[in-house]
């Protein structure tokens, strides 16, 4: 299954002007940074799920979710554990366990396991997931040629736009290389499956050196290719393809505006301080 790379398709998201998708990511990043209401975030998640399903990219998002699982659990646990040492800010929920632990001298520590700890952990995990997923939605549906064109339309210099586009071209290559290196080394007898986590970490040193050399040699090959194609950032370039907004961009912006408005209303209606 493809990961961290553009997926060919003909969906609404694929048809959009890349600038509309860039705006979508920026707005969603700001929105998920500010909105801390569980109900509002759940609505936003359902809007995203609907959008992914209509554009038939939900299985790629599911792959992303599985890759992010550990990070999301970590974020949940972090906020959950911090919450154990706090009194619930909202007093009308169930408290599952509460005690005072005596420390040195007269110092005491409150440990309170209540619904609010779970809520807080879930809200923070959901915010991070939505933020990453909005970026990933853009990545899945915008190829690097469109990224470069879109950025250039925003008057970003070609050198910078090309550099950003190149990163998105190279990331999938590096992932493929790392996978091949891991397979090659394990084929030669390096145990990477049935081993302790300390060995697993050590193994990454074994993988990183060949990966580093592969990346360097790819970098060299790319710079040679840039020379063969006479790429010179100080010379004016022309463009074969042009991008322009269409009716699909209007539909997309309207749908997002409605979703944002509902999210804000829900946030005001159901806000619980976290």
Partner 1 sequence: MDYKVNNISYKYTKDGEEVLKNVSFSIEKGKVTAIVGPSGCGKSTLVQILSQVIPKLISNGVLEGSFDVPKDTFVSVVSQTPENQLFGYGVEDAIAFGLENIGMSQKEIVERMEYVLNLLNLQYLRKRSVDNLSGGQRQSVCIASVLAMKPDILIMDEPVSSLDPNGKKMVQDILGELSGSGNTIVLVDNNLVWSAEVVDHVVGLLDGEVVFDGSKDEFFRNFELQKKLGVILPQEVELYRALSKQFPDIDLLYTVEEAFAQLRGRVEKKETLRKISSEENESIIQVQNLVKQFNDGFTALSQVNAELPKGKVIAVLGQNGSGKTTFVKHLNGLYKPTGGDVLYKGTSILGKTVAQISKNIILVFQHPEHMLFEETVEKELTFCARMQNVPFSEKRITEVLEKYHLAGEKQTFPLNLSMGKKHMLTILSVLFSSADVIILDEPTLGMDGFLIEELEKMIADLKAAGKTVIMISHEIPLVFRVSDYAVILNKGQKIFEGTKESLVEREDIFDEINIMMPPVVQLSKKLGFDEVVFQVDDFIKKVSAQKKA
Q: Where do contacts with partner 1 occur on this chain (CB under 8 A)?
A: 1-2, 6, 8, 63, 143-146, 166, 169, 173, 177, 180-181, 183-194, 206, 209-210, 213-214, 217-218, 221-232, 235-241
Q: Which residues, including other chains, have CB under 8 Å from residue 214's CB and lie 6 or more apart?
A: 177, 181
Closer CB to partner 1, residue 55 or residue 274? 55
What's the min distance (Å) between Cβ of 226 and partner 1? 8
Angle between helices 158-187 and 197-228 (to 10 degrees): 140
Q: How far is the CB of 144 from partner 1 (least distance, A)?
A: 6
Between residues 134 and 152, which has the closer beta carbon with respect to partner 1?
A: 152
Give every CB contact of residue 178 below 8 A, 6+ residues apart in sequence.
207, 211
Closer residue to partner 1 (CB): 103 or 194 = 194
- Share in percent of the chain as helix, strand, coil (round to 5): 70, 5, 25
Q: How far is the CB of 30 from partner 1 (least distance, A)?
A: 29
> How far apart are the C-alpha atoms of 29 and 16, rounded to whole Å?
19
11 or 185: whose CB is closer to partner 1? 185
Least distance (Å) between residue 15 CB and partner 1:
15
* DSSP code, position 193: S
Radius of gyration of the chain (CA): 24
Classify 100 as helix, strand or coil. Answer: strand
Beta carbon of residue 181, minimum distance to partner 1 (angstroms, whole number) = 5
Name which of 42 and 226 has its Cβ closer to partner 1.
226
Nearer to partner 1, 70 or 235 (CB): 235
Q: What's the CA gap between 99 and 41, in Å, rounded?
A: 32
Kindly report the backbone phi and psi dihedral angles of residue 113, in degrees, each rounded to the nearest multiple of 5, phi listed first: -100, 110
The token pair that represents 241 in the structure block: 């393809």
Residue 204: which residues within 8 A CB-CB, separation 6 or more? none
Question: Cβ closer to partner 1: 99 or 223?
Answer: 223
- Kindly state the smallest distance separating residue 35's Cβ from partner 1, in Å: 33
What is the smallest separation between the CB atom of 188 and partner 1, expressed in angstroms?
5
For 35-157, where are the alpha helices, taking DSSP H only? 38-54, 58-84, 115-141, 144-153
């Amino acid at each position: 299954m493809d990961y961290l790379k553009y997926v060919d398709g003909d969906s609404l998201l694929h048809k959009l002007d890349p600038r509309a998708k860039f705006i979508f990511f920026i707005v969603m990043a700001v929105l998920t940074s500010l909105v801390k209401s569980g109900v509002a975030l759940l609505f936003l998640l359902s809007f995203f799920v609907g959008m992914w399903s209509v554009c038939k990219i939900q299985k790629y998002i599911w792959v992303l979710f599985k890759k992010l699982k550990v990070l999301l659990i970590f974020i949940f646990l972090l906020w959950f554990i911090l919450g154990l040492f706090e009194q619930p800010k909202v007093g009308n929920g169930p408290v599952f366990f509460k005690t005072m632990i005596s420390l040195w001298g007269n110092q005491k520590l409150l440990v309170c396991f209540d619904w609010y700890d779970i809520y807080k952990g879930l809200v923070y995990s959901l915010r991070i997931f939505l933020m990453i997923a909005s970026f990933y939605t853009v990545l899945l549906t915008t190829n690097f040629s469109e990224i470069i064109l879109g950025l250039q339309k925003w008057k970003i210099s070609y050198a910078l736009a090309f550099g950003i586009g190149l990163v998105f071209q190279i990331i999938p290559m590096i992932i493929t290389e790392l996978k091949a290196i891991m397979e090659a080394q394990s084929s030669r007898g390096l145990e990477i499956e049935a081993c302790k986590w300390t060995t697993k970490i050590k193994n990454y040193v074994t993988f990183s050196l060949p990966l580093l050399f592969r990346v360097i040699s790819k970098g060299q090959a790319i710079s040679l290719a840039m020379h063969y194609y006479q790429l010179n950032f100080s010379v004016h370039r022309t463009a074969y393809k042009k991008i322009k907004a269409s009716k699909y961009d209007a539909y997309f912006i309207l749908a997002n505006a409605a979703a944002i408005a509902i999210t804000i209303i829900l946030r005001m209606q159901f806000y619980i301080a976290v």
